[in-house]
């Protein structure tokens, strides 16, 4: 029924923290408009302001998404920065509509830091995480703000909790979207997820966080959403729990696999401190 499992890379202020630390609430995870977990297909302007559009060299510049985690770093997937012949040249912050975004800003890249244990080209789905260091300090605005990470090292979201992914990947119908889309799904247990992926010989480890469609609202991440943030709202603050990594053909009712961000807080802090 499903052809294959693949990565979602598209082929075809006065803040008191700096670049080497992660912000804590209320300096992150806040936005000027917030429709919470309301089901909707597109974001309002200013909603999910940490969503970053990565720009690649060549004719098809938009293949992946990332998230702003402080005033200098973008979090994304390793696949998005290590795939052959796919060179990230800049990061677009504050984008709402792809072609016309009055509040967007383009930042150059200083350094790309993929996870050292991620194995390109193998049937390896762990450690699909990377940091991108921008070449200047980000100016935050109503449309450009960082997300919080689960810095205590444990996921805040529990199975059946609703999460939102934002990006500009294809929609469920397979069409390229232009306005920042909002995909609402629910977290499932790694056990249930592992059963679904067993037929592809993919083991769902503790490093992964799986999501599936809501029971009465089918929506999925798709090609072009790789590296996108999967966020959860806890007491009014948005935390990034996952990084979109792999899944089945878009629009099918099947789980997808995301990097579990809480497992990488130490790795992120180490890299922020070194670079
Ligand atoms: C940052 O990168 C951009 C795009 O490559 C470049 O135009 C700009 O001069 C760079 N800025 C700094 C401070 O290096
Ligand atoms: C899964 O692994 C088994 C045993 O190694 C093999 O026979 C089977 O063809 C594999 N299935 C897939 C979908 O790769």
- Quote the pLDDT of residue 14: 45
The better pLDDT of the pair 83, 29 is held by 29
Closest to 144 measured CA to CA, from 88, 178, 104: 104
Strands 51-56 and 62-68: antiparallel
Instruction: Tell whether omega for the bond before 26 is within 30 degrees of 0, i.e. cis.
Output: yes
| Residue 200: band (very low, low, confident or very high) from pLDDT cuts 50, 70, 90 | confident
Residue 13 has pLDDT above 60, yes or no: no
Task: Compute the residue count for the chain.
Answer: 275
181 pLDDT band, cuts 50/70/90, is: very high
The CB of 254 under 6 Å from ligand 2? The reply is no
Q: Which ligand is nearest to the CA of 134?
A: 1
Q: Which two tokens stand for residue 10?
A: 């598209």
- Confidence category of residue 250, pLDDT binned at 50, 70, 90: confident
pTM over 0.85: yes
Answer yes or no: is the C-beta of 201 below 6 A from any ligand 2 atom. Answer: yes
Q: Which ligand is nearest to the CA of 133?
A: 1
Q: Which residues of 172-200 are buried (b: 16+ CB within 10 A; e: fewer)?
A: beeeebebbbbbbbbbbebeebbebbeee
Distance 58 CA to ligand 1 centre (A): 19
Lowest mean pLDDT among 3-12, 105-114, 192-201, 248-257: 3-12
| Strand ranges for the chain from DSSP E | 6-7, 51-56, 62-68, 73-76, 88-93, 105-114, 130-134, 162-167, 181-188, 208-212, 229-234, 237-247, 256-260
Tens digits of per-residue pLDDT, 136-167? 999 999 999 999 999 999 999 999 999 999 99
Q: Is the pLDDT of residue 273 over 80?
A: yes
Distance 202 CA to ligand 2 centre (A): 10
């Amino acid at each position: 029924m499903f052809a294959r499992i693949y990565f979602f890379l598209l082929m075809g202020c006065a803040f008191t923290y700096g670049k080497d630390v992660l912000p804590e609430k209320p300096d992150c995870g806040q936005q000027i408009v917030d429709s919470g977990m309301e089901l909707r297909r597109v974001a309002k302007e200013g909603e999910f302001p940490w969503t970053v559009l990565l720009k690649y060299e060549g004719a098809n510049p938009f293949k992946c998404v990332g998230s702003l985690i402080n005033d200098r770093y973008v979090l994304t997937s390793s696949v998005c920065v290590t795939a052959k012949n796919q060179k990230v040249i800049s990061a677009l912050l504050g984008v709402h509509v792809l072609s016309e975004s009055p509040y967007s800003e383009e930042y150059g890249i200083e350094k790309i830091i993929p996870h050292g244990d991620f194995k390109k080209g193998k049937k390896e789905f762990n450690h699909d995480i990377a940091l991108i260091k921008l070449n200047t300090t980000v100016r935050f605005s109503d449309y450009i703000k960082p997300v919080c990470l689960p810095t205590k090292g444990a996921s805040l979201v529990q199975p059946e909790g609703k999460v939102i992914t934002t990006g500009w990947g294809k929609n469920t119908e397979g069409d390229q979207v232009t306005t920042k889309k909002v995909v609402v799904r629910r977290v499932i247990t790694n056990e249930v997820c592992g059963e679904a992926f067993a037929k592809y010989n993919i083991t769902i480890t503790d490093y992964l966080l799986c999501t599936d469609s809501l029971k009465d609202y089918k929506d999925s991440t798709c090609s072009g959403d790789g590296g996108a943030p999967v966020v959860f709202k806890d007491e009014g603050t948005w935390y990034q729990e996952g990084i979109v990594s792999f899944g089945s053909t878009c629009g099918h009712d099947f789980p997808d696999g995301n990097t579990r961000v809480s497992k990488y807080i130490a790795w992120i802090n180490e890299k922020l401190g070194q670079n």
